[in-house]
Chains A and B, each alone.
Chain A
Amino acid sequence: MLDSIKKKEELESKIVDLERSLKTLKQQLMDEVEEEQHRDIDHLEEYLDEVDHRYGNMKDFWHIVRQELRERFAKKKIAEGKQNPEA
């Protein structure tokens, strides 16, 4: 009986410790995330430049879309070739 009560108390104490540790870790994580956000904000000038160079982004994007389209058509042709080997 006494052993059971002692064990429960130990477990409850461990749970309290774990919860305290979890809270501390969450706080540390939040501090780390906020620190990273502050560092990122310090690069704001670079991000402002991105707005001015957005048309360059479209060119890049179009180049990648064309590549993907070519790959898709090539895969489709191979798949069709496999389905109709006689052709």
Chain B
Amino acid sequence: MEKHEGFMKALKCRECGREYPLGATHVCEFDFGPLEVAYDYERISKTLTRTAIEARPRTMWRYRELLPIAGEPTVGLQVGYTPLVKADRLAKHLGIRELWIKNDAVNYPTLSFKDRVVSVALSRSQELGFKTVACASTGNLANSVAANAASAGLKSYVFIPSDLELGKVVNSLVYGANVIGIKGHYDEVNRLCAEIAGKFGWAFVNVNMRPYYAEGSKSMGFEICEQLGWRTPQHTVVPMASGSLLTKIHKSYQEFAKLGLVKESSWHIHGAQATGCNPISQAEKAGMDFFKPVKPNTIAKSLAIGTPADGFYALKVMKETGGHADDVSDDEVREGIRMLAECEGIFAETAGGVTVSVAKKLIASGKIPASDSAVLCITGNGLKTLEAMTGHVGQTCEIRPSLREFEAMLKDEEKVAVTA
């Protein structure tokens, strides 16, 4: 069991603590609990210092010791280190002293935070000798697996609900991936993939590669700390689908604190969902430590997971850190997208609208005090979910190429502005 690979020691069950070798496996054979990578933190602390990190290239791999691969990364070398934007105009709008946007809408190469998890999962898949990679996806993950597999010369199969936004479908097909549209919602895609993963010898990034895959999300939290000047934020608002990202952001702050890279301090992690798929937020608001699965119905399709695998742990993290959850309607999702776009010039996908509008609610209710500072995690790009905003934004003013018509148009607008 104690055959270390890189800085990894073993896979360990989060429920019962049983240990497993570092292979392509994701559940404990005993109680089906999720397996997680265990690290040798003592060795990590010897090489991972602020000075060492600052001297490395500006990608997520600058925290390489805390990411679960044995050797050097081979896939997604340019991923991460996305901007942390100080959002003064949005802060004013939401009524909070200080606000930051961690903008993974411009992550490389497929414009979502999924490039973080996929580069880890595929680098590890190569180490374990896989030639075919696959995933169950609500869209962003499919895009990222398709693109990163193409660049690594791996064959890929991506499974998605057949009713996804066109942008997300084309964005997988273009890389030559095998795209399989399942007539059902994500939880059904997931169930099928769990069955398929047991049958074929493929690396399913979010099934048998999940222990490695999920760790990639920590890099978003590491970057937030470093970009804030080596400190943890007071509040972090994270969108929740399976709940995995939220738990990994928390873990990233814990690991940085443990290694002395940031000062020990308290932080609050809050979770955001859409009302049309709110199993975790519903449970948090009711003070329960378990959730009831739901059938999703929301425009925030990337968050539409009715049976969230990490829901239990997400609830635990929010409770332990004094964080809260809330959920918002489809109209509020669109309003959130508009607020972020109009105040900060950032066009997020529907999950981003969820995060902004939930943050607004948490600030208004005092659950995030107005005198505090918060980071909002924006995980995907609005260009991929244009359907959600079409017909809900202003419209083009069409005129002939004539100065007179333009001036007439401006005059009309002024009239509107005066009477409005």
The finding on whether chains A and B are genuine partners in a shared complex, rather than unrelated, reads no
